[in-house]
Every structure is written in structure tokens, then in C-alpha cells.
Structure 1
Amino acid sequence: MADATTDARQGAIRLLDQVLGDGRLISEAIASGTLDRLDPQDRARAQRLALDTLRGLERADRLLSKHLRKPPPLTVRNALRLGTLELAQGAAAHGVVNAMVQITGRHRRHGALKGLVNAVLRKVAAQMPEAWEQLRIPRLPKWLRAPLAEAWGAPAIAAMEAAHFAGAPLDLTLKPGADPSLPGAIALPTGSLRLHAAGQVTALPGYDSGDWWVQDAAAALPARLLAPQPGEAVLDMCAAPGGKTLQLAAAGARVTALDISEARLVRLRENLARTGLEATCVTGDALDHQGRYDAILLDAPCSATGTIRRHPDLPHARDGAGFGALIELQAQMLAHAWTLLAPGGRLVFCTCSLLPDEGEVQVEEALASHPDMTVNRAALALPGIDPAWITEEGGLRLRPDFWADLGGLDGFYMACLQKAPKTGE
């Protein structure tokens, strides 16, 4: 019988098979039940191992290619990749090699390749860690690297790739009045708390009492930009998983949390209950929604290219083919949201994207289409905002390589758009 460590490794290989073989995101693979047979601790470990392997995939493949005459079947190759990653992280060679041999040997079609796995990983182990550290930082695939390099330049892309390879710490948003003295946490300039070695999230102090919620420091800024006031009617237009909804509710606003996915709203409701906050949750299509709101937060569906440091599966599971449709959807959502906003109201448009077409360009085109729309530049006067992050049209551009000394932050674009009051007001 396999031990828990081997079970987690096998779970990681299943995730890698689905990302690299089927083009599925890890979140999709987990939602489909890929790790259901594992206990919570092993599920978390399997996911971490898979993510770390994807971050170092280019390095692992370069090392393995020296010892392989031809690529083995995908599952075996992923076992080799995972084993190489663990060896690079300093895991004991005998444990890693034995586990990968055992996992391969149990495979009903590829069990005969366990000898290959044993021989290759022993050779790789003999080269560690020097061979790993001499390789370049893994690069983004060409389909994504090319447009990003055009937008931001080669030095910026290299810095972003370094941030992606380093991974992401855990950021928390505190509920107002909660104790900020979480052990090991540092306060970020924008007000979020950061943990570089968090462990199991649900075991951290303050989780059960709802003192905080997990939210990248960049993702916490759009709600602060909107600056909801007590009693205001506020729409969170694409609400799930709900971090921004919690921020809006904590500010005392009357929040409507709208999302097309009822399943995703379940988690939002759970977080509302855990934190003791209130919002009206509505399942529906944002383009069909009706109402009148004092303020709207539109975190539009996007390429999510700004989140690669925490979701390294994305460049491997996607190829950019659907980005054009997403950009069109964003424009439609922004135009419809504008019809729901009361005169004199404000709307924050944001995307967790590094592509200007999903950020700066969207706002420039919206400004040209709506005579009653202006950019509220004063909203950017927030703690921790570097003036260099402010864009020409008055938005805020965040990148993974910003705050490199603090551990980076997700790529994001956001702008606060002001609607003109009625004539005579």
C-alpha cells in the first residue's frame, strides 16, 4: 500500500497529466474530482507539488532531455518532471527515486518503464543542485511572451518571469477592527498582510472567527479605489469568489453580489457567514442584470495573465485563442454596467490581466464612447500607491515584478470612472 507522501505525489502527477495533456486548469481538474480520494493535507500537498513542477517545467525538461533519447509517455514524463523538481528542492534522493519508481511500476500500461525512471532520476540526482541553478529562469510560452514584450519591453518581461518562478506568498485582507498581529505576517504598504510561510490557511489564527480573508494585495485595491460609503447601494458585478464583496460589505455598503455561477456563489456565502458580513447574492448573467446603483465594481472575466505567479498552469492550459472573445465581453459588460450606474456615481473597472487590451485600451475606448464618463484620478490617492504605477489615461497598472523585495504582487489593471451628475445638480 502507498503511503500518504506517495499518494500526494501520484495526485500531483494526475494534475500534471490533465494540465499538460488535456489543457485543463488545475482548478478545473480539482473541481472534477481528481484529488477527491486524498485527505485535505495530501490534496494541498499534491496541488503544491504540481504548481511547483509547472513553475520549473522548462528547467526540468532541459535536465531530463540530456538523459532521454526520446520523450516517454506523458504520465511517465510527468513523474520524471516531478521527481526532478523535488530533487532540486533538496528532497532526499532515495525517497524521491523510490517513490517515482513505485508510482510508475503500478501504472497498468507503463509499468515496464520503472527501470527508466530509476536510471534517469539517479543521474539527475547526481547533478543537483548545481545543474538546476545554472539554468535560466523559465520563460513564458511564445504566444504570451510576444505580446507582453511588445507592451512592456524585454527587461520587464524578464523581471516578471523571475516573479512567476519565485511563486506567491499568502496575502490577507483584514476585517475592520480585527487584530492585525498575525504571527509571521508583515504589513504591506497598501494595508494587506503578507505571510511567506503560511502553512494550512484554515489553521491560522483568526480564520474561524472571520478576522480576515485570503486576497492578493493587488486584488484588494479595486474595492479601496471604489471607496464604498455606509448605506450606498453597491453592485459587485462579477463577485465570486468574493474577496471584493467582503471588502464592500465591511465598509457598510448595501452590497449586491452578482455572479453567473451558483456553485461559485456557494463559497462566497460561506465566507460571508464566516466573517459575519452581509450581502445579497444573486445568480445571473451580468449582461441581463437590471437595477440602479450608487457605485459598481466590475472585475471583468479576463485572461488572468496577471495571476501566473500563483497559477503557473495557465500558460500551459491556454494558448490565447479565446482572448479576443473575452476582450469583447469586457467591453459589453462595461457598457451595460454604465447603464446601471446612477448619475454622479462611480464605477471601478478592473482585470487581473497584463494585456493592455484588457485594461488601458478598454478604458480609453469607453471614455471615447461615453461623453458622461471621466476618470476619477483623485481615487488613486491611496496608501502605498507608487506614482509610477499610474497610467496616462488615469488608471493603475500593477505588475508581478513590482515590490520585488517584498515578494511581488499580481498583475492588475484598474480605473475609477466617474459618471456626470444630472444637469442642474
Structure 2
Amino acid sequence: MQDRTKSKNSAPRPPRARAGGPSSPRGGASRPRPAQSPDGLKTRDVAVSALYTVLVERRPFDDAFARAAAARDLPGRDRAFARLIATTALRHRGSLQAVLNTYLAKPLPERMGRLDEILLAAVAQLLLLQTPPHAAISLAVDQCRADSSAKRFANLANAVLRRVSESGHGRLADLDNIALTFPDWLLSRWSDAYGAAAARQIARASLAEPALDLTVKSDPERWAKEIGAVVLPTGSIRCAQAGRIEELPGYLDGAWWVQDAAAALPVKLMGDVAGLSVLDLCAAPGGKTAQLATAGANVTAVDKSAGRLGRLSENLTRLGLTATTAVSDALTFSADRQFDAVLLDAPCTATGTIRRHPDILYLKRPEDVGALAALQKRLLDHAASLVKPGGILVYCTCSLEPEEGEMQVEAFLESHPDFARRPIALDTDTIPMTWRTPAGDLRTLPTQFADLPEGLQGLDGFFAASLVKTC
């Protein structure tokens, strides 16, 4: 398949089909596929549309998927399956593309519509999602015929996909999906920061489909029992993906909100915030704002996106929580006072969240690290001016890159002698000592919680530091 983003994993355009190799009984799936629906073609169209938006137009997956699913009015179950197809294809794109290329011999012309994405989605279904071959193949052919530029390749798609279904599993088993899917620059960075072996472990964990983490307002044991989840040592509850979020017990009661367990930790570094004035910069989607409000803080939530801030307010209403909101760029936000505590969850490359956002593999570039680190420095400088003497500044990112975490804080402390690091206080039953950096900051990795049952493992990669304004 062709990679129209010109990444290191680019490959020639699909050639014509030829005979494949021997078949293999090997199968595998991240989870069984749902029963077939009369909206099967629409479901695949949504998945392909989202893939095209990420891989060709280089736009984020979540927004693209939401628009595509809404435009086709997919019911909940079909929407979930469309998302599973697309995210599975993104997580395993390198190896799936390599399998496809073994059945192709001659490059295709430039104008081929969405053939690449149609084939990618179909192969993901055949080799990883246990979709019956007749369904995956016939619907892919129908998609080709409905695409004015791809319709002349419908017979090719049919021939190639039949061969994939017969012998593709064996070919897939021999491939290194990490090396084929991850960009070289990112693996190299992680090798430098964490060691080569750890880098591969982080990459492998980043390609696993994540469980669902919830932060509860109170009584995690009760809600874990009602939802069918486990209580993590950090206090979050975790369950396997269980259908529509809105249908889970406690949603309508405002008992919890969706938030990765790692993302819930930075607020904990602030300690007791009851009655304190707390500024939450870059606040959307609002999980940390909800934590602060639940803990009794007087929260001001700032975000430059009015739409995202509106959704934050809607979620607070569902939760029965209140906060002052302000639409403003965090770089220029001003107030007539300083705050007892400021939380800066800064924009970053988000490389710690690939397991939830596999599109990061295709949207981020090495130069983004430096550009975002420069922005983070400016944000930290401004956030520091909003903290009262004696107050706390908590800085965090969901990046695994040291320039956006450890190095950022060291540079900040060198240029701000009025601040000092407050090493995180650890309850070792809650936060393992291995999550604390030598300097005393917090660093989580996707490889953590590996001792949980399959399907419940992993954690977003996060960095957080607690800084006290001494004067």
C-alpha cells in the first residue's frame, strides 16, 4: 500500500494480485467482532473515512471519526466496531501493510481514491478482528465500487483480500510490528531516554488497546463492583471496554468521569486543596478540573477553545460540580489576583498516550518536540507569575520526551530562583517508588500495571512536578 504521508514506512502503491503463500491456522484478535449489522457498509465507510483523514489529510483521529460517524448516523454498536477497525488498523499498520505488499506485484496509478485505506481496514478485519472473510471482502469490494477513483480496482481488491484471508496469518506471524509501525525517530528517542530494551517494551505496551479508566467522586469499591471493574492502587477504577459509556452504572448519577489513571495523579501532588483558589490552565477536557472541584477547591478553569470549555462545563453539570470558566489563551490569561495553586497540563507531543491515540504515530514529527518544548517554557514562565508566594505550581505533560518533562523543569528552576522543587510524597501502597524520578518528580510509563490481568494492563506515560514559590 502507498503511504501518502511519506513516512519512513512508506511503500509502493499496491500492485496487481498474484498467488500467495501457504495458509496458517494462526489467528488473533484484540476482541471478538460484533454481530453483523444491516449498516455494515456504513460502518466500514466510517472506519475508512477516519483512516483517510489521519493518513492522507494528517488530521487527528478523534474529531475525524466523530464527524464521519455522525454524518452516517451510526448506531452505538456499529460506531464502536467502526472505531475498533480503524484503531486496530493504525496500531498494526506497518505489519498489515507488509502482508498486503507480499500479494502485490505492480504499482498502481496515482489516482486510486481510498483504495489504500479500504484494503488496510479489510486486512485488519481478516487478520486481527476475526471478521468472517465473506463479510470483510464483499464489503471492501462494495466500497471500491462506490468510490469513483477506486472502482476500477474492485476486482483486484477481491483477489488480494481472498489471498490474504487464505494465507495472511502465517505471514503476519513472522513480522515485527513494532519496527514496521513505529517511526525510527521515536524509537531512537526512547532508546536514548530509557534504554533500547525498555524502548521496545514501551512501544509494545503503547500498541495494546487500553482499558477504560474512571475517576470516581467517592466510594471506588462500590462503583467498581457495580460496573464490574477493579480498583487500582492509585484510586482510579478500571474495566475492560464495556460498550457505551453513557449506559454504565453511575453515569447519569454523576458518580464518575473518564480519565486515565496516570492523568489523575498530577492533582494528587497538590495535596489538600479544600478551600484553596486553584487555577487550571489548558483545562479541557476537564478531568483535572473535576478532581479539584470534588476535593473542595475554588477552581478557575481556563482554555482557549470555547467549544472544549463548553463541553467541560456540561460535564461538570452532569457531575454536580462547579467551577469558574474563562475562554483565554493560557499564555495571556490575566487575573486580578494570584492563586494558591496553579496546574499547568501543557500542550505536548502526547507520546505517552499512543495506546489511546495511535494516530500520534502518523501525525507527530521529530521537530514537534522542540517546538512544543519552547511553548511549554513560555507557558511555565507565565504560570509562575500567577502563583502566590508560598503557593504551588504543578506542571505536567502526557509526553515521554525528556525535553517536555524532566529537562523542562530543570531549566525552569535554573531561571526561577524563587521556585523550588517539592519532591513528591509517596504512599508506596498507592504510587510505587519506581514511578518517582531521581530528582523527585513523577514519571509513569505505558509498561506499568503489567501485573494486572490481560486487557487491564498499562498506563499512559505522564510526567509531573510540584514546584513551590518560596518568595
Which SS does the other structure have where 2:257 is aligned? strand
Please provide the CA RMSD for this pair.
1.8
Cα distance in 1 for partners of 2:119, 2:67 equals 25
Cα distance in 1 for partners of 2:46, 2:428 equals 43
The yes-or-no answer on 1:77 pairing with 2:119 is no
Q: Counterpart in 1 of 2:7?
A: none
Cα distance in 2 for partners of 1:32, 1:210 equals 26
Q: Which region of structure 1 is more displaced relative to structure 2, 266-275 or 39-48?
A: 39-48
2:119 is aligned with what amino acid?
Answer: L
Q: Counterpart in 1 of 2:171?
A: 131
From 290, 304, 311, give the equivalent of 1:267.
Answer: 311
Q: Counterpart in 1 of 2:9?
A: none
5+ long unaligned stretches in structure 1: none
The yes-or-no answer on 1:408 pairing with 2:454 is no
The yes-or-no answer on 1:66 pairing with 2:102 is yes
Q: Counterpart in 2 of 1:333?
A: 379
From 278, 288, 291, give the equivalent of 1:234.
Answer: 278
Q: Counterpart in 1 of 2:90?
A: 54
Contact 2:206 2:446 in 1 (8 A): yes
User: What's the CA shift string for 1:215-254, capped at 9, x where partnerless?
Assistant: 0010010111112421100011110000000000000000
Q: Which region of structure 1 is more displaced relative to structure 2, 314-323 or 292-301?
A: 314-323
Q: Counterpart in 2 of 1:359?
A: 405
Which SS does the other structure have where 2:152 is aligned? helix
Contact 2:269 2:424 in 1 (8 A): no
5+ long unaligned stretches in structure 2: 1-36
1:124 is aligned with what amino acid?
Answer: V
Q: Counterpart in 1 of 2:43?
A: 8
C-alpha deviation, 1:129, in angstroms: 3.5
C-alpha deviation, 1:143, in angstroms: 2.5
Cα 1:70–1:34 change in 2 (3 A) is farther
Cα 1:378–1:68 change in 2 (3 A) is closer
C-alpha deviation, 1:177, in angstroms: 4.5
C-alpha deviation, 1:383, in angstroms: 4.4
2:329 is aligned with what amino acid?
Answer: D
From 180, 183, 187, give the equivalent of 1:141.
Answer: 183
Cα distance in 1 for partners of 2:139, 2:317 equals 42
C-alpha deviation, 1:203, in angstroms: 0.9
Cα distance in 2 for partners of 1:28, 1:309 equals 17
Cα 1:276–1:70 change in 2 (3 A) is farther
Q: Which region of structure 1 is more displaced relative to structure 2, 372-381 or 139-148?
A: 372-381
User: What's the CA shift string for 1:37-91, capped at 9, x where partnerless?
Assistant: 2324233332221111100101111110111124553611211111111112211
C-alpha deviation, 1:281, in angstroms: 0.9
Contact 1:163 1:404 in 2 (8 A): no
Q: Which region of structure 1 is more displaced relative to structure 2, 22-31 or 217-226?
A: 22-31
Cα distance in 1 for partners of 2:375, 2:262 equals 23
Q: Which region of structure 1 is more displaced relative to structure 2, 374-383 or 337-346?
A: 374-383
1:227 is aligned with what amino acid?
Answer: G
Q: Which region of structure 1 is more displaced relative to structure 2, 117-126 or 21-30?
A: 21-30
Q: Counterpart in 1 of 2:215?
A: 173
Which SS does the other structure have where 2:284 is aligned? coil
Matches within 5 A, 1:237-386: 237-291=281-335, 292-381=338-427, 383-386=429-432
Cα 1:116–1:33 change in 2 (3 A) is closer
Cα distance in 1 for partners of 2:345, 2:211 equals 22
Contact 2:246 2:252 in 1 (8 A): yes
The yes-or-no answer on 1:203 pairing with 2:247 is yes
Cα distance in 2 for partners of 1:320, 1:49 equals 28
Cα 1:31–1:328 change in 2 (3 A) is farther
The yes-or-no answer on 1:104 pairing with 2:150 is no
Cα distance in 1 for partners of 2:167, 2:443 equals 41
Cα distance in 1 for partners of 2:177, 2:232 equals 27
C-alpha deviation, 1:275, in angstroms: 0.3
Cα distance in 1 for partners of 2:98, 2:227 equals 40
Which SS does the other structure have where 1:273 is aligned? helix
Q: Size of the alignment, in residue pairs? A: 420
C-alpha deviation, 1:335, in angstroms: 1.2
Cα distance in 1 for partners of 2:331, 2:156 equals 54
2:380 is aligned with what amino acid?
Answer: L
Cα 1:224–1:273 change in 2 (3 A) is same
Matches within 5 A, 1:146-161: 146-161=188-203
Cα distance in 2 for partners of 1:266, 1:40 equals 25
Q: Counterpart in 1 of 2:4?
A: none
1:322 is aligned with what amino acid?
Answer: D
Cα distance in 1 for partners of 2:67, 2:124 equals 26
Q: Which region of structure 1 is more displaced relative to structure 2, 390-399 or 178-187?
A: 178-187
Cα 1:391–1:333 change in 2 (3 A) is same
Contact 2:369 2:403 in 1 (8 A): no
Contact 1:377 1:416 in 2 (8 A): yes
Q: Counterpart in 1 of 2:206?
A: 164
Contact 1:8 1:38 in 2 (8 A): no
Cα 1:65–1:38 change in 2 (3 A) is same
Cα distance in 2 for partners of 1:102, 1:317 equals 29
Cα distance in 2 for partners of 1:317, 1:29 equals 13
Which SS does the other structure have where 1:226 is aligned? coil
C-alpha deviation, 1:199, in angstroms: 1.4
Q: Which region of structure 1 is more displaced relative to structure 2, 243-252 or 390-399?
A: 390-399
Cα distance in 2 for partners of 1:405, 1:141 equals 28
Which SS does the other structure have where 1:287 is aligned? coil
Q: Counterpart in 2 of 1:388?
A: 434
Contact 2:52 2:117 in 1 (8 A): yes
Cα 1:100–1:143 change in 2 (3 A) is same
1:153 is aligned with what amino acid?
Answer: G
**TM score, norm. by length of structure 1:** 0.94
Cα distance in 2 for partners of 1:35, 1:327 equals 35
Contact 1:191 1:383 in 2 (8 A): no
Q: Counterpart in 1 of 2:22?
A: none
Cα 1:138–1:74 change in 2 (3 A) is farther
1:409 is aligned with what amino acid?
Answer: L
